[in-house]
Every structure is written in C-alpha cells, then in structure tokens.
Amino acid sequence: MKRIVIFASGSGSNAENIIKHFQNSNIATVTHVLSNNEHAKVFERCERLNVNASLFDKENFEKEDTVLNFLHVEADIIILAGFLWRIPAKIVAAFPNKIINIHPALLPKYGGKGMYGMNVHKAVKENNETETGITIHYVNENYDEGAIISQTKTALTNTDTTGDIANKIHLLEQEHFPKVIENIILQNV
C-alpha cells in the first residue's frame, strides 16, 4: 500500500477528490495533508474526511529539515493540489519522479511563478485562446517545468468568461487527476 501525502494551500477540492478516490483502494491511501496556509479550507475537508492534516511554515519547509524528515517517514508519493510554494531542491532530490503537480493550463503556456488559479484563466481569456486544459507533471526545482505526464484539453468559445474557464478546468481536474495518480502508482509498484 503506497502512502500519499498531499500539499495544499487553498480550498482543497482536488485534495478531497484524491482522498475520496483512494479511500477504499488496495493500492494507495492518503496518509496526511500538509498546508502552508492556516486559513486553508483544506483543513475543514480533512477533518470531515478523517484525514490527518498539519500546518507548516517556510522555516520548516526550506531551512530546517522538518518537512523533509516527515516525508521520509510518511510518504511514498507526494501530490501538489493547489500548493503555491516552490518545492525546495532537497525535497525534489529526495523524491525523484515521486512529486506530482497539476497545473490549470497546457504547459509550457501560462506556467511559472504567479501563474495559478484565476491568474491563469485571466491570461488565457486575454489571449483569446481557443483551447486550454490541465497539465499533470512531475515536479523539479522550477515552477511548472517538470516532465509532463499528461495533458487534457477543453475547447473555449469567445463568450467563455474567466469563471466559465475555471469551471471547465475544475471538471477536468476532478475527472483526471486521481486516475493519473493511480496509473502512476500502478506503473511503479
């Protein structure tokens, strides 16, 4: 049974979806959710779903080995689900091809520091894109530059608002992210 640790900074809808996907699985389980945001709604979701969740700060994450040591004990695979900090090189090195992120655009477009959530959807709309989608990728030391695992596209119309784009992306995330994680785990068992 593989152990999944999820990093989340916000509402936690993707984290909840992943937790539910693996609740009755015989291949993996979510053992813990870590967040850098004490006000993140993901804590409420974890409490409701009976999953351990912990808060950490930049010191624990980047300068000390608190988070790294925790991951060595608790994680076989790490999932970033709306996590906004760059992963330190020492964690990336300790978990090669075992840290997976989802990005709300078709990388390499609309990636990098500051490109998350509505910032991405706004840029997609402003550039009159006819399609967008999600990219699931391995994490390296740079924002959104790790090897791409999968991409799923959705068509856009010129009448789509940024809210419409966000809804289309959310549906893709909910449908595809847990399945891709499961496939990666199955390939590495």
Q: How confident is the prediction for the chain on average, in pLDDT?
A: 95
Q: How confident is the model at residue 189 (pLDDT cuts 50, 70, 90)?
A: low
Structure tokens that stand for 147 in this block: 């090897």
What is the torsion angle, in degrees rounded to the nearest 10, for the CA atoms of residue 152, residue 108, residue 88 and residue 178? 0
Domains of the chain: 2-187 (3.40.50.170)
- Please indicate whether residue 39 is annotated as part of the active site: no
* pLDDT, tens only, 169-179: 999 999 999 99
Q: Confirm if 111 and 145 have CB atoms less than 8 A apart.
A: yes
Dist CA 89 CA 31 (whole Å): 23
* pLDDT, tens only, 3-57: 999 999 999 999 999 999 999 999 999 999 999 999 999 999 999 999 999 999 9
DSSP secondary structure string, 131-163?
EEEEEEEE--SSTT-SPEEEEEEEE--TT--HH
**Is residue 124 exposed (0-12), middle (13-18) or buried (19+ Cβ within 10 Å)?**
buried
pTM reported for the whole predicted model: 0.95
**Active-site choice (21, 32, 103, 121):** 103
* pLDDT, tens only, 119-159: 999 999 999 999 999 999 999 999 999 999 999 999 999 99
pLDDT value, residue 188: 79
Dist CA 161 CA 40 (whole Å): 26
Backbone angles phi, psi at 137, to 5 degrees: -145, 160
* pLDDT over 60 (residue 98): yes
Q: Confirm if 53 and 46 have CB atoms less than 8 A apart.
A: yes
